[in-house]
Amino acid sequence: MSTSNSDVQVEIYRLWRWFGVLVWIIVAVAILSHFHDRLYSTSIDVGLHGTLVARLMESSNLPTVDENLSEMATYPRIAHNIAAAVGVEVDSALEGMQYIAYLSVVLLWSAIGFSFLRLPPRRRLIAFSALAIALLANRQWFGLEIFGSELVATYFFAHFVAQALALCLLVIAFQLEWRRPDSFNHLLLLGLGGALLTSVHLLPAVELIGTLGALVLLGALSDSREKRTWRFIAGAGIALFSLGLIVVNPDFLAMYRLSSNNGLMALKYIDSVRGMAVLSIAVALLSLGLIALWWRKQRTAPSYEGLLLKYFGAFGLTVAGLCVIQILLYVGFSKGSEYAYFKYANALQSMLVLDVVLLIAQLGKDHATDSNRGPSVFAPSALALLACACVFSKADFVFTEKIVAAEREARAFAKSAGQPAPGTHDFAIGIAEIGSFGNYLVSRFSLGTPALGDAYDILLGSYPKDATRINRILGSSGSLPWDIAKCRRGVAGSMVVVDAACAYGEFTMLKCIDTIEFTSRGAFDKAGSGFTAPDSNGRWSEGMQATLICDRVDPTTRVAYLDTAGLVSDTHPQHMTVWVNDKNPQTIEYSTKSPARTVELALPADDSSQLTFRFEFPDAISPAELGMNGDQRKLAVFMYRMRFE
């Protein structure tokens, strides 16, 4: 009995599909292996989301008021629960979160690639090629914040996981409609999926429900007269029911309250409400173009290509419309915040690219009906790999290996050492090679410190001034100024444990004698304010004012010399005014012609026991504002040392 050619072709296509799935798994594992220890954000959001993951690793029954969790105590938890499950296996909240974040990148871009597979051969080739070129061009020249950029600089963990799931559900929905156009399965999937996504993050959930509403309206326009009314009523019923499920979900109210919180989101091209409005209008017009093409195609004969245009057009139009509504609510009724509408930027810029790609694909004349996809089944995997390379390759990152190791050791210590004294917390401060950001994460994830106060000082690289809430300090052996032999109280893996009260008691007052190096810690930190953490040469002033106080050992000393350099550009000079014991103000100017200055400060000729150097910096500015780098701190003058003669 012979096998027909069609049966052979079916078997060949099936083999291609399974081979494509195998390659996708290999690529996904390779991406996770490569990126899981690369963190492209040092935002406080990493600490907020990671703290919730760390607590969920311990217990799913968390209090609604908790100083360690702060606002995250009532935050939607599905994404964090998934990350916590992975975190338990790898013994790290940070790694658990990273694995889920990068898996979401793979899923999102793979879903987009999968949606292109059933296009006619020539248009499929054009669509994939145009998208690949767009990703490469964006990496090299444009720098739009497309999908995946939610994990760069900012760290919208739950938001991005929900966005990836929303795109996956969108692609599955139109596959369902393509197979069974007369059923309501696709609408039910979007409705129930949107309701579920509310417990991941509200914004993508609303995007999905909005897209559902748009699809119901478009369906009513394209249905035959005899079907139009009852199908519209059924579709509208599903949309309204799903919207009701969102509103009654407790996570909806929690996210609504958080929407009034403003935050920092730096975009390359957009920094105002006008820019977001223009972007929304551009995406809306392009999306309407896709819908118009679908309308023209479906009047001839329903096609997969037309359905793809309808779904992506409806999604882009929905995202643009929701952003405009959010802008109107903020501008007209003071509801929400600037942050709330800026969070649409990644989806809008991504849809801008995808809309253009789909419009370009329409330029290809393709009358082929052969559905043989052959080697093109590898395209979703290749697209996910290319998207990761383009989104993350040029961004700054920190390796997390040492942070994760410290996180594990600190967690083991916290479990064995028991709770610190009431009203106090243990802190990671002097752990070497992980920086202030790493110490902050270890303090939050493993030791349960509150988000603000001393922990925030650690994040900024500042010296925690309030020692009354610090019980023990975990740091590396020899870390200055914390590791004092007489104050050691044990070890935590490779780290030493120091009694905080003992260590702080050893920090004597700064002496106005010989040379004060601005790189020093301990006594300098205790005596100064308005300075950054030291680097290898000194410290920057931070903010508009700074103060340094020292004990006057030798009253006969009459002059102090301060070695400095200003943060200047061709268009931005700096000025610094200095008072010594609130007398004899002296103003120093810095410019590109004289960026470095040694300032001579006359000391008061009296018997004062202390000298207070008070600085003002009226021209303080961030390096980001000067276009130097992404540093948002307000800096003015770098100080190396102060010599007394």
Identify the structural domains of the chain with CATH numbers, from first to last: 15-392 (no CATH), 405-506 (no CATH), 515-644 (2.60.120.260)
**Once rounded to an integer, what is the mean pLDDT over residues 308-327?**
96
pLDDT reported for residue 603: 92
**Once rounded to an integer, what is the mean pLDDT over residues 65-73?**
87
Is pLDDT at 489 greater than 80 in this prediction?
A: yes
Is the model more confident about 209 or about 63? Answer: 209
pLDDT classification of 10: cutoffs 50, 70, 90: low
Query: Cα 599–603–605 angle (5° rounding)?
Result: 155
Cα R_g (the chain), whole angstroms: 29
pLDDT reported for residue 366: 64
Closest CA to 275 of 359, 338, 353: 338
Contact 539, 461 (CB under 8 A): no
Sign of the dihedral through C-alpha 143, 148, 149, 151? negative
Percent of the chain's residues with pLDDT above 70:
97
Is pLDDT at 1 greater than 50 in this prediction?
A: no
**329-335 contacts: CB < 8 A, separation 24 or more?**
330/273, 331/273, 335/259, 335/260
- The CA distance from 38 to 351, in Å, is 27
C-alpha distances in Å from residue 171, one per residue of 16, 195, 549: 21, 17, 63
In DSSP terms, 579 is beta-bridged to 614
pLDDT reported for residue 277: 96
**Once rounded to an integer, what is the mean pLDDT over residues 260-284?**
89
Q: Which of 151-155, 219-223, 313-317, 545-549 has the lowest mean pLDDT?
A: 219-223
Sign of the dihedral through C-alpha 347, 352, 356, 357? negative
Q: Which of 344-358, 380-394, 473-487 has the lowest mean pLDDT?
A: 473-487
**Once rounded to an integer, what is the mean pLDDT over residues 5-28?**
81
pLDDT tens across 516-539, in order? Answer: 999 888 888 888 889 988 888 999
Percent of the chain's residues with pLDDT above 90:
66
pLDDT tens across 578-632, in order? Answer: 999 999 899 999 999 999 999 999 999 888 889 999 999 999 999 989 988 878 8
Q: Which of 151-155, 212-216, 332-336, 431-435 has the lowest mean pLDDT?
A: 332-336
**Tokens 């009034």 -> residue:** 260
- The CA distance from 238 to 244, in Å, is 10
pLDDT reported for residue 3: 52
Query: Cα 300–306–307 angle (5° rounding)?
Result: 125
Closest CA to 504 of 481, 478, 527, 535: 481
pLDDT tens across 539-588, in order? Answer: 999 999 999 999 998 888 889 999 999 999 999 999 999 999 999 899 99
**Once rounded to an integer, what is the mean pLDDT over residues 352-362?**
95
Residues contacting 610, CB < 8 A, separation 6+: 549, 550, 551, 552, 581
pLDDT reported for residue 422: 84
Averaged pLDDT score across all residues of the chain: 91
pLDDT classification of 97: cutoffs 50, 70, 90: very high
